[in-house]
């Protein structure tokens, strides 16, 4: 087979990879748009949105990630068009030696690492909230986040330096083992952070299962809390499984389109998971919010004096749980369910 025939076959193969890449990116990003629009609609429709710093923060960070995703999609599309152009006209030049293409790849690689870090921060934040902002949990997760950030920066540097070096080689030219080892630099710490966050959520869910049943009984509310907790845990495991599949594909164990597809899909999946969490929280279906109301987050405020004064002139106080989350919930809980008078020694 002649050299020209080999070149045409190579360009055709790259063209197919581009088609697969754009197809899966379009599907995943379509789902991302729907979920993001849903989260914005729910957030802005909630009363007192601007007076809730956590909601404003979540809205800001998910919007920022969504905008980063748009930029990444535009860059991916532009790169795909260049690849198709070279397929139609192989004499136009080598795509990997184009300065413009190198800039597109560099910006896209930077955005990708940034979205991974932001996604890890949000996942870790949910675990911190569930653990009632325990300092030990914060310290451990912060250490893991710093490790993830350092690993992402190192991987980004290794990816960018060859692009602009005189002896530039495409990542496509790297051996399967070397490409997999490179992927371990970023995937290892990121996967460890997400597994730790998911493990902490799972552990706390198991610890508080009895507590939830005690306070909410065996009714529909308790069942819903457990189901949503299962969804939160399972979604964390699914996200971890995506990272494992990405690592496997980096070693080229899968068919050739596997790495290309996983590399593109994982970027938008990193935005899907936090957006899904925001929807659960804003719809007040998140078990974290239930626990903030009914279990670990029970914060008591002194209510108005009721009934006759006790001996010694001290009024009898009623301590009611804050209902900042349950007040607009579709589940109405009797106010007496979480009331405790100062002359009662029985705990909730």
pLDDT score of 112: 87
Cα(264)–Cα(72) distance, integer angstroms: 10
End-to-end CA distance of the chain: 81
Which positions ≥6 away from 102 have C-beta within 8 Å? 163, 164, 168
* Spatial contact of 152 and 117, defined as CB atoms under 8 Å apart: yes
Residue given tokens 């790259």 in the structure block: 14
Cα(178)–Cα(45) distance, integer angstroms: 50
> Do residues 119 and 70 share a domain?
yes
Closest to 196 in 3D by CA, of 110, 130, 278, 150 = 130
> Do residues 135 and 78 share a domain?
yes
pLDDT tens, residue by residue, 311-340: 444 333 333 333 333 333 333 333 332 333
pLDDT band for 210, please (50, 70, 90 cuts): low
Strand order in the sheet with 318-321: 300-302, 318-321, 339-341
Percent of the chain with pLDDT over 90: 9
> Do residues 269 and 303 share a domain?
no
> Do residues 183 and 163 share a domain?
yes
Which positions ≥6 away from 343 have C-beta within 8 Å? 310, 316
Residue with more model confidence, 163 or 329: 163
Kindly state the DSSP code that residue 2 receives in the 8-state scheme.
-
> Do residues 91 and 27 share a domain?
yes
Closest to 342 in 3D by CA, of 311, 325, 327 = 311
SS3 content of the chain, % helix, strand, coil (to 5): 75, 5, 25
Cα(227)–Cα(36) distance, integer angstroms: 23
Instruction: Tell me the mean pLDDT in the region 204-221.
Output: 65
Closest to 174 in 3D by CA, of 84, 252, 76 = 252
* Spatial contact of 161 and 167, defined as CB atoms under 8 Å apart: no
Cα(266)–Cα(321) distance, integer angstroms: 41
> Do residues 206 and 319 share a domain?
no
> Structurally, how many domains does the chain consist of?
2
> Do residues 216 and 238 share a domain?
yes
pLDDT score of 143: 96
Task: Count the residues in the chain.
Answer: 348
Q: What angle do CA 53, 229, 206 make, to 5 degrees?
A: 115
pLDDT score of 323: 35
> Do residues 163 and 267 share a domain?
yes
Mean of per-residue pLDDT scores for the chain: 69
> Do residues 260 and 320 share a domain?
no
Instruction: Tell me the mean pLDDT in the region 152-174.
Output: 69
3-class secondary structure for 98-155?
CHHHHHHHHHHHHHHHHHHHHHHHHHHHHHHHHCCCCHHHHHHHHHHHHHHHHHHHHH
Residue given tokens 């106080």 in the structure block: 317
pLDDT tens, residue by residue, 235-246: 678 888 888 888
Residues paired with residue 100 on neighbouring β-strands, in sequence order: none
pLDDT band for 148, please (50, 70, 90 cuts): very high
CATH code of the domain covering residue 139: 1.20.1070
Between 78-82, 161-165, 256-260, 322-326, the lowest mean confidence (pLDDT) is in 322-326
> Do residues 64 and 22 share a domain?
yes
> Do residues 146 and 265 share a domain?
yes
> Do residues 7 and 138 share a domain?
yes
* Residue finishing a domain among 256, 274, 294: 294
Percent of the chain with pLDDT over 70: 55
- Where residue 217 falls (left for φ over 0; alpha for ψ -120 to 50; beta otherwise) is left
Closest to 247 in 3D by CA, of 179, 160, 169 = 179
């Amino acid at each position: 087979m002649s050299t020209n025939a080999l070149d045409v076959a190579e360009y055709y193969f790259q063209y197919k990879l581009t088609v697969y890449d754009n197809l899966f990116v379009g599907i995943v990003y379509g789902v991302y748009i729907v979920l993001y629009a849903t989260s914005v609609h729910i957030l802005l429709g909630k009363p007192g949105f601007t007076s809730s710093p956590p909601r404003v923060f979540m809205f800001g960070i998910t919007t920022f990630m969504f905008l980063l995703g748009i930029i990444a999609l535009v860059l991916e599309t532009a790169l795909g068009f260049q690849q198709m152009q070279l397929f139609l006209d192989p004499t136009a030049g080598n795509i990997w030696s184009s300065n413009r293409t190198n800039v597109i790849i560099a910006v896209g690689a930077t955005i990708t690492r940034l979205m991974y870090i932001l996604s890890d921060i949000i996942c870790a934040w949910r675990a911190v909230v569930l653990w009632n902002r325990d300092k030990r949990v914060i310290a451990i997760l912060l250490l893991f986040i710093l490790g993830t950030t350092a690993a992402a920066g190192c991987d980004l540097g290794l990816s960018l330096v060859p692009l602009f070096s005189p002896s530039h080689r495409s990542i496509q030219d790297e051996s399967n083992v070397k490409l997999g080892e490179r992927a371990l630099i970023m995937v290892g710490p990121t996967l460890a952070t997400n597994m730790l966050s998911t493990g902490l959520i799972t552990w706390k869910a198991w610890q508080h299962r009895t507590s939830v049943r005690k306070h909410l009984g065996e009714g529909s509310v308790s069942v819903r809390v457990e189901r949503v907790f299962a969804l939160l845990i399972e979604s964390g495991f699914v996200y971890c499984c995506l990272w494992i599949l990405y690592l496997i594909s980096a070693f080229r164990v899968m068919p050739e389109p596997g790495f290309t597809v996983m590399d593109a899909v994982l970027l938008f999946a990193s935005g899907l998971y936090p957006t899904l969490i925001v929807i659960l929280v804003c719809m007040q279906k998140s078990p974290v919010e239930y626990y903030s109301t009914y279990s670990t987050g029970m914060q008591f405020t002194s209510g108005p004096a009721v009934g006759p004064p006790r001996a010694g002139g001290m009024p009898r106080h009623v301590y009611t749980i804050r209902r900042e989350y349950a007040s607009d919930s579709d589940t109405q809980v009797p106010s007496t369910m979480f009331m405790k008078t100062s002359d009662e020694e029985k705990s909730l």
